[in-house]
């Protein structure tokens, strides 16, 4: 269900962003692994609901060979916990996290991410 909602959210991202999202891999996991949490200085696995892994598009070159595809990781248990705690519509929560991670793909500021989320709403 989370993956379907995430792909739906990704499909609502407007142009010109949408044309650069065809190679994104969507990964749904129970929690982030210990190494990922440690990288961000987190000890509570419920702190992280999503993560973009890859090189922001503005930092890429056509001469680079990517060691792995760009990925959006969604962490199921933290997402469900946040949904239960906040009462936010689950679809809107997934959209929010996906748009935020897409924003990292493009190297967007928080304000730009909010505008993109409004457009993808």
At 40, which CATH number? Answer: 3.30.2010.20
The reply to whether 37 falls in a domain is yes
The reply to whether 73 falls in a domain is yes
Whole-number pLDDT of residue 114: 77
Rounded-to-integer distance, Cα 105 and Cα 103, Å: 5
- The pTM (predicted TM-score) of the whole model is 0.85
Q: Tell me whether strands 25-29 and 71-75 are parallel, antiparallel or unpaired.
A: parallel
The reply to whether 18 falls in a domain is yes
The reply to whether 63 falls in a domain is no
The reply to whether 42 falls in a domain is yes
Is it the case that residue 37 has pLDDT exceeding 80?
A: yes
59 band by pLDDT with thresholds 50, 70 and 90? low
Percent of the chain predicted with pLDDT > 90:
55
Residues 73-95: what's their mean pLDDT?
A: 97
Residues 85-104: what's their mean pLDDT?
A: 93
The reply to whether 106 falls in a domain is yes
Number of structural domains (the chain) is: 1
The reply to whether 10 falls in a domain is yes
Q: Which residue has the tokens 């897409």?
A: 102
DSSP, res 62? T
The reply to whether 82 falls in a domain is yes
Residue 35: which domain range?
2-58+68-120
Asked if 118 and 100 touch (Cβ cutoff 8 Å), the reply is no
């Amino acid at each position: 269900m989370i993956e379907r909602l995430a792909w739906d959210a990704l499909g609502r991202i407007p142009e010109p962003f949408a044309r650069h999202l065809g190679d994104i891999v969507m990964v749904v996991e129970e929690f982030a692994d210990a190494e990922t949490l440690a990288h961000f200085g987190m000890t509570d696995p419920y702190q992280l609901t999503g993560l973009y892994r890859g090189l922001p598009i503005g930092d890429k070159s056509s001469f680079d060979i990517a060691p792995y595809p760009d990925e959006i990781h969604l962490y199921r248990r933290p997402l469900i916990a946040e949904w239960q705690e906040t009462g936010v519509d689950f679809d809107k929560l997934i959209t929010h996290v996906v748009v935020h991670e897409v924003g990292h793909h493009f190297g967007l500021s928080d304000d730009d991410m909010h505008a993109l989320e409004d457009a993808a709403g």
